[in-house]
Amino acid sequence: MRPTVLINVAVTADGKMDTFERHGAGISSEADKQRVLRLRADADAVMVGGHTLLAEDPKLTVKTVELRNERAARGLSENPIKVGVVTRADIQLHGNFMTAGPARRVIFTTTQTSPEQVNVLTELGAEVYVLGERRVNLNQALEVLYTLGVRSLMVEGGGSLNFELLRAGLVDELCMYVAPKIFGGWNTPTLAAGEGLSETAALNLKLVDFRVLDESGGLLIRYNIN
């Protein structure tokens, strides 16, 4: 058993999630940011991959009192479980992921993380699971999350994690905000990175909804994954 998995992304019209500088360029409009806050507040857990976790050190918390109160009224914790998927868990011990909250923190990693680092993270309150040697076994990770009570999982990138989840058939819905911008670039990050798929292995999407979300012309597109 596994949770229902939603990948949520913001991309430019040319499919980029950031510029070539990779400093976390602003793509979402204010309306989209509010939508994402609601999605996060409705999720049991929020997951990010290694680059996002180590380079951006996200908080992954519910940012408004109103939404936190709504969660509390439903008998939930203030924030969803924060989940990191990282090959080597060299996480900032006093950074946002580890300290912003209150929130339960779950880290899936590989044997490339030293036992000493696993112990340090555990002593700081994180729940660490070593699931693989070269990369995290995502099937097992989702099974673990299900045993922890996670029924809805929101994935907030990056491209490598998105691709591996999609390739493994572990995604139920893809929600995209498409901003009226062009970043270009040979190596700028896209929605799905990784090794890529051949034409015959391409994943098919079923359009569920699309609409103009804001005055800038940003589009919200939702797909189910066949």
What tokens appear for 201 in the block?
């292995």
Q: For residues 136 and 86, give the distance between their C-alpha atoms in angstroms, rounded to a whole number.
A: 7
pLDDT digits (tens, 9 = 90+) for 184-212: 999 899 999 888 889 999 999 999 999 99
Question: What is the rounded (10 degree) CA torsion for 129, 135, 143, 202?
Answer: 160
Tell me what the mean pLDDT of segment 36-60 comes to: 94
- E-state strands within 23-101: 45-48, 81-85
Partners of 48 in the beta sheet?
84
Q: For residues 166 and 173, give the distance between their C-alpha atoms in angstroms, rounded to a whole number.
A: 10
- Angle (deg, nearest 10), helices 65-73 and 30-42: 20
Alpha-carbon Rg of the chain, whole angstroms? 17
Share of the chain above pLDDT 90, in %: 90
Q: What is the pLDDT of residue 24?
A: 80
3-class secondary-structure state, position 117 = helix
Q: For residues 171 and 222, give the distance between their C-alpha atoms in angstroms, rounded to a whole number.
A: 13
Query: pTM for this one?
Result: 0.94
pLDDT digits (tens, 9 = 90+) for 73-120: 999 999 999 999 999 999 999 999 999 989 999 999 999 999 999 999
Q: Is CATH 3.40.430.10 what the domain over 4-225 is classified as, yes or no? A: yes
Tell me what the mean pLDDT of segment 23-50 comes to: 93
